[in-house]
Structure 1
């Protein structure tokens, strides 16, 4: 799994787990990383594989081994990264951006149900398309071009299995969950059901907060929640 460290001299460690299809070099990912660096974090960004056959071995284990070597750290995650984050331990504070804790209603169909039973690790299933309306108006042309247009059945199977075995929501006093009610990628209902209302921050403008026109409005709250957890939302 690819990862990159920014601001080696930062006073505190922060681990940022990206979502499916996000790349470290994408401009709006870097926009958020820059804000974290400005807050004097030593930021380690993980770019997850888009094709996996085992959730624990290929997604969780590489990051878990890394954070085990940190004395303490904050954890920021987005989308599929938010699913992975629930299987990581040791973070002082956690911020989730549009975590993929449940399949969107559009994915509740016979084709996806069948795909979950097919053990193919090839990207053969069309995503149906990703556009700015889904991700956020600030999504770049490069970002849209580099987002995979197909997914592997094993990716869906492993994500579904991880969602089905999520532990109870923990660290409610040390967590914040940002999401948009109109999310077209993940289930907003699953987020509302899993996270206590006091931990939720609602925003408008697409699945990816860093692509949303409202990002400037919320980035300071993200940073505050990484420092204070739920208390930053009160």
Structure 2
């Protein structure tokens, strides 16, 4: 796990998704907007291959946030799976959390693959700019991992099966047409009053509508679910 901090002000922990890096153009776009809004952003980059979700994801992030007197939480994708296990944030905002395997990637072969005790990337992701968001650059896509290890998928499935109850103060942004994570799992877990659907790819910050949704993301970070009240 690697952490970079940006800006000054109230602490905002941003747990990135699988393969995201703070220096990626669209990720940095969001970080810069958060800094401009007055936050000290702690961007947490997670490993892409693990053998133990708790030891390599949940515990290191929990230990990091424990050093902060208070904090707000923003997560994306796999970061949203990790963030669901954290306690203590003043507000929590999820961007396309990976709370379930997409139905197109949940076949028998994929389930058998996840049982292999191999911590080496073997399974191609098949992720492209259309799935991620059309603003993602070619360099950004090329810099990301192009294969997944069986142990990573095993641990993700294990964590998804043991998610704690949904916290009513949470706000979830998601694309109903997401091809990377399961929109159905998000809709099943998060009540409609806590969800904000958007048109675009898996990464809101790489989607054409990011400028439109940024103000609501910022209000949700500041006020939590109260930001969605009519």
Shorter-chain TM-score bucket reads: over 0.9
1:225 matched to 2:223: no
Matching residue of 1:161: 158
Deviation at 1:60, TM superposition (A): 1.1
Q: Distance in 2 between matches of 1:139 and 1:42?
A: 24
Count of paired positions: 229
Task: Give the structure-1-normalised TM-score.
Answer: 0.96
Q: Distance in 1 between matches of 2:147 and 2:201?
A: 20
Matched residue of 2:218: which SS?
helix
Matched residue of 2:91: which SS?
strand
Matching residue of 2:65: 67
Q: Distance in 2 between matches of 1:175 and 1:228?
A: 10
Matching residue of 1:151: 148
Matched residue of 1:160: which SS?
helix
Q: Distance in 2 between matches of 1:155 and 1:229?
A: 31
For structure 2, the 5+ residue unaligned runs are none
Matching residue of 2:194: 199
Does the CA contact (< 8 Å) of 2:127 and 2:180 recur in 1?
A: no
Q: Distance in 2 between matches of 1:124 and 1:230?
A: 40
Matching residue of 1:107: 105
Deviation at 1:113, TM superposition (A): 1.0
Matching residue of 1:22: 20
Q: Distance in 2 between matches of 1:99 and 1:125?
A: 21
Listed as ranges, the matches of 1:132-143 within 5 Å are 132-143=129-140
Q: Distance in 1 between matches of 2:148 and 2:170?
A: 30
Task: Give the structure-2-normalised TM-score.
Answer: 0.98
Q: Distance in 2 between matches of 1:113 and 1:67?
A: 33
Deviation at 1:11, TM superposition (A): 2.1
Instruction: Name which of 207, 211, 216 aligns with 1:216.
Output: 211
Q: Distance in 1 between matches of 2:64 and 2:106?
A: 35
1:152-176: CA deviation from partner (whole Å, max 9, x where unpaired): 0000000000000001101x1x211
